[in-house]
Structure 1
């Protein structure tokens, strides 16, 4: 299969929404891409529309039920801070970067989710120290390319302020510019989370989110300049995409509080979970309910009664309830007993103490980052909830398309680099490509 480009740079601006188009269409660096390439007005995300499943979908062309990354975090009911799906082996099957590497091309990834311990030439994975005894730099070094990361940390580490934004993305930007100039990879995947953070903590359309879009515009400009300065611009393709959108919310749903009241969750006197029959695992705007014993028919009946009563109550915050089979049909985890969709304005947390419903204020968000004022994870069928894609450079046609699906992106990127992801849920969007 012939290659359409020599260098593919994929920039994921986490939480970039189709609704951001009126802002970005007038910003010069975004305009450069829009005026010279392809623009997709609406990209339908996946269910649940959270970051790690979305990014695994982008590189596999498959829904979560097939690639295996069905949530950001693992089901660990007794842990205050569950581990995330950081590692490449969380993904079933092949990926874009695997196939590119097999074709003897070079790969690079900067904070791209689910790439820890992946076979990527220049890899700085997104992973954080999640145990008191762990050191952030060591955890990163051990999970990616040690020398590559060490050099970048030595040169640009002073820019970072822990995991805080916008400093983290500023560090990623300098690392990306340096990598383009010095490594000139055939595939480069860059993940920026500034916008996502600002939306979570200040709301979808707050001044902080708008400022983050403008910072992303400047970051895009620096990357475009780096391609010129490196001498590879003529043979390069640049893709700018979002993984999901977000919706404003201000009420948290604590379904585990109700499960505990029904003795489906048991805690010790210190409030730590010691046993559970059913557990509500949050995906923010949606949630899975898992059974410890999938054959426990009594618990299934109790859950069904509880969920039916919540569905009848317009103030419960729950819009829809799916069975595990129905969740699987939507591409989510079929191993759940039920999957719940929150109404607009609501989202799920995993607390099992306190009240079922909790109204959230800006002050509480500032004090405790588990609270947010906008989030995602909702069904991609929700109104005004699409994301976006634009691309320019070698192999890209000048075209506007009304809609594609997130699952179509991976096969299309693979075609640009002359490789294949095999049999995927998504398909190559040939209209985007100069074939």
Structure 2
């Protein structure tokens, strides 16, 4: 029996509702025709990019892999550095297991992979707001030196300047790596632009179809690269998303609300003077942090305030979880004391300036854009998991699945076992 390989093509913000259109596209359709899929994959909570990508390749919930938000949220600070380095991940990844079993590994533009001990690694680590001309400063000592030396002189131009594009950089690298390294045994390729389009224009805007078509063309290039230079017949192909998105109805300036009720106090210049409770946004959900979690009276006061907002028809909070409830229900821990979420598509803004409780959507913003995510795993839109290859049965459609099931299932395709995960095999699709 020939050794099987794994190729993962991850589309940020791929929604279950995209499936029918994907079936009409030249290259994606070949995977549907020969493979199987899970239509509705529930992400982990909060359903944001770095948390979900880490769960995809560890098979664990946030409290068990250590990446609980995009940012390393710190008490008393609204903005913190992002999770970027592989040593932030407190669990084995699929690629770690593969490497221990003698397989070659490659990761391109995958979050929280800086400094990973993979054979070939180009992490998603250049800050997305960076528009300068020296992105290599973020890649030195975090990406594989071999890849930087071999390709950055030519392809680095794609991630420089005002019109920088990580997807163009990724798509310049990936075919070259497949050719020059005869297709690594396990290869992850992550694309960002569908998520960007949805943050800018909304979930169902016509531009999302344009972007899916671009991703289909990109996938076609990678398929052809593997046909020419790799082992196509013995490769299991995966197309998956990290989360869906939801069209935002309202933007709630929750720190303004806390300020108005005396839980947050500002200096004359508008900077934070002191607080009893502070809101950290996850997009469609938010964390409420207490300055002193041991102050039982204040904790009760804040909890009662939050509960009162469930009865307020203007605010209309739907979900309020204590720290303990979040750990039990979602296996989520972190520097928070409550997790809150709205009835509808309410996006949470962290800004405490002004007196307006409701704000405006900001096109393209990762938290308060036209589309957003970060809400409860079961809420629309979910994402999906599509597979085709020698380890996959054809023609099976599974209605619902869990994101933590994906790593153990992909390991099985390689003849490997991932132990001590939170997930289970998606047996229905496996030969």
TM-score bracket for this pair, using the shorter chain length: over 0.9
C-alpha spacing 1:400/1:128, structure 2 compared with 1 (3 Å)? same
Contact preservation (8 Å) 2:71, 2:83: yes
User: Aligned runs of 1:21-420 on 2, under 5 Å?
Assistant: 21-76=19-74, 81-129=79-127, 135-160=134-159, 162=161, 167-183=165-181, 184-335=183-334, 336-355=336-355, 357-360=357-360, 364-365=362-363, 371-382=368-379, 384-398=380-394, 399-420=396-417
For 1:408 and 1:78, locate their aligned partners in 2 and report how far apart those are by CA, in whole Å. 35
Distance in 2, matches of 1:264 and 1:164, equals 41
* Unmatched runs of 5 consecutive residues or more in structure 1: none
Q: CA, structure 1 residues 238+325, in 2 after alignment: closer, same or farther (shift >3 Å)?
A: same
Q: 3-state SS of the aligned residue for 2:358?
A: strand
Confirm or deny: 8 A CA contact 2:45 2:330 kept in the other structure.
Answer: yes
Per the TM alignment, residue 80 of structure 1 is displaced from its structure 2 partner at its CA by 6.3
CA contact (8 A) 2:319 2:341 kept: yes
Q: Is the 8 A contact 1:317 1:346 kept in 2?
A: no
* 8 Å CA contact retained: 1:70, 1:332: no
CA deviations 1:25-64 (Å, max 9, x no partner) are: 1111111001111122111111111111111111111111
Q: For the residues of structure 1 that align with 2:126 and 2:331, how far apart are their CA atoms?
A: 25
Q: Distance in 2 between matches of 1:300 and 1:350?
A: 20
Q: In angstroms, what is the RMSD of aligned CA positions?
A: 2.4
- For residues 116 and 288 of structure 2, what CA distance do their matches in structure 1 show? 30
Deviates further, 129-138 or 79-88: 129-138
Which residue of 18, 21, 24 maps to 1:20?
18
The answer to whether the Cα contact below 8 Å between 1:201 and 1:373 also exists between their aligned partners in 2 is yes
Does structure 2 retain, via aligned residues, the 8 Å contact 1:162–1:168? no
Could you tell me how far 1:233 is from its partner in structure 2? 0.8
Specify every segment of 5 or more residues in structure 2 that has no aligned partner in the other structure, as ranges.
none
Residues 235, 390 of structure 2: 8 Å contact kept = yes
Q: Is residue 427 from structure 1 mapped to residue 424 from structure 2 by the alignment?
A: yes
Q: Partners of 1:370 and 1:284 in 2: how far apart? A: 4
Paired with 1:32 and 1:355, the residues of 2 have a C-alpha distance of: 54
Distance 1:122 1:233, change over 3 A: same
Contact 1:255 1:356 in 2 (8 A): no
Q: Tell me the number of residue pairs that the alignment of Structure 1 and Structure 2 aligns.
A: 427
* TM-score (normalizing by structure 1): 0.91
Which whole-Å deviations, capped at 9, do the CAs of 1:217-244 have from their partners, x for residues lacking one?
1111111111101131122111000111
1:285 and 1:188 map into 2 onto residues whose CA distance is: 31
TM-score (structure 2 length as normaliser): 0.92
